[in-house]
Structure 1
Amino acid sequence: MKKQTLSVRTIVAIGIGAAVFVILGRFSSIPTGIPNTNIEVTYAFLALMAVIFGPVAGGLIGLIGHALKDLIFYGSIWWSWVVVSLFVGFVFGLVSKKIDIESGVFNKKKIASFNVVQVIAQAIGWFAIAPTLDILIYAEPANKVYLQGISIGISNMVVVGVLGTLLLALYAKTRTKKGSLDIDA
């Protein structure tokens, strides 16, 4: 018998996560004033889902959610940015084992670990990967796409640092801390 690589729970989380990504991307985006760039709370939600369900789920939620959002609301998919959503979702998920949010503990050390990882992932994704792919795939002007990447990267770092950290802290509070239950005799 072949081993199943993704649990039903994870597959459902990917589907629901991608749908919520689309909805948040449509109704909670705040324009920055720089063309085609918005402050997105979607990445705080992506961080929560990736930390809970792991890197594969995080990457697929970013990929599917961003691709669907672009297709539904803009009529075409901007692949360079979709690739970055996949990348940051995957990297957010890589920290899930170290953070172990299911333990019910999300202390200062775990918050710092999460935020170091998310800032590095987003810096690589938005400052380097997205603009470079925009130039290579779409022949966009370098000054325009690097400005967009810096704007999006910084705003996403702040949103995930504040809202993502808050979502993770609230989620951790819903988990039972190990050793916190006593057996009544």
Structure 2
Amino acid sequence: MKREIFSTKTIVAIGIGAAVFFILAKFVAIPTGVPNTTFQTSYAFLALISAVFGPIAGLFAGLIGHALNDAISYGSIWWSWVIVSAFTGLGIGLFRKHYSIEDGEFGKKKIISFNIVQAVVQAIGWVVIAPVLDIIIYAEPANKVFTQGAVAGIFNILTVAILGTILLTAYAKTKTAKGSLSYED
């Protein structure tokens, strides 16, 4: 059976993921003290969408949710950071089999695996991709954008490590553990 990239389940996950990402980014963002850089709870939910529904859902939920927030909040889209949100959703989703929460188990090993993946993906995104794109696309000063990227990266990694882990653990508890059911005659 051929797997569809854009199944109904994936499209619904993208829509819900983008909407919740937007709402969290718009209304549950805390200033960090660094200009135009906030503590974003939306990345914890993006991690959940990516881990449960995969890289395509994560990519588009991050892309659409962040672009909507920028367009509505600021009147224009800051594409370098939107691309990193999409990259984050894609990256976390690509490795979902390493911490597959669908089997109802999200123990210490899977939590560590998940957090290594999300930290590496976000470090690459916020400390390398976002600042480099800011310089290339917007001709921003390097010292400013690397500081913003590092601060955003640290806060987003911590947010996903704490809130994302809580969300994934809670979600895993709603699933039946693999091998826990037996057949009776």
Please, what TM-score do these two structures have when normalized by structure 2?
A: 0.96
**For residue 17 of structure 1, what is the amino acid of its counterpart?**
G
Q: Describe the SS at the equivalent of 1:30.
A: strand
Mark the runs of 5 or more structure 1 residues left unpaired by the alignment: none
1:182 shift after superposition = 3.6
Residue 14 (str. 1) matches residue 3 (str. 2): no
* Residues 44, 160 of structure 2: 8 Å contact kept: yes
Query: Per-residue displacement from partner, 1:143-172 (whole Å, max 9, x unpaired)?
Result: 111100000000001010011011000100
Identity of aligned residues (%): 61
Residue 69 (str. 1) matches residue 69 (str. 2): yes
* Residues 5, 56 of structure 2: 8 Å contact kept: no
With 175-184 and 139-148 compared, the bigger mean Cα shift is at 175-184
1:183 shift after superposition = 4.1
Q: Could you tell me how far apart the structure 2 residues matched to 1:119 and 1:100 are? A: 17
Q: Could you tell me how far apart the structure 1 residues matched to 2:178 and 2:155 are? A: 35
**For residue 171 of structure 2, what is the amino acid of its counterpart?**
Y
Q: Describe the SS at the equivalent of 2:88.
A: helix
Q: Could you tell me how far apart the structure 2 residues matched to 1:130 and 1:117 are? A: 18
Q: Could you tell me how far apart the structure 2 residues matched to 1:4 and 1:50 are? A: 17
**For residue 109 of structure 1, what is the amino acid of its counterpart?**
K
1:181 shift after superposition = 2.2
Give the match for residue 174 of structure 1.
Answer: 174
**Map of 1:40-51 to 2, 5 A cutoff?**
40-51=40-51
1:184 shift after superposition = 4.9
Residue 94 (str. 1) matches residue 94 (str. 2): yes
Q: Could you tell me how far apart the structure 1 residues matched to 2:56 and 2:6 are? A: 9
Give the match for residue 131 of structure 1.
Answer: 131
* Residues 55, 91 of structure 2: 8 Å contact kept: yes
Q: Give the number of aligned pairs.
A: 184
CA RMSD of superposed structures (Å):
1.3
Give the match for residue 143 of structure 2.
Answer: 143
1:30 shift after superposition = 0.4
Query: Per-residue displacement from partner, 1:64-84 (whole Å, max 9, x unpaired)?
Result: 110111001110000000000
Mark the runs of 5 or more structure 2 residues left unpaired by the alignment: none
Please, what TM-score do these two structures have when normalized by structure 1?
A: 0.96
Residue 113 (str. 1) matches residue 126 (str. 2): no
Give the match for residue 159 of structure 1.
Answer: 159
* Residues 10, 56 of structure 2: 8 Å contact kept: no
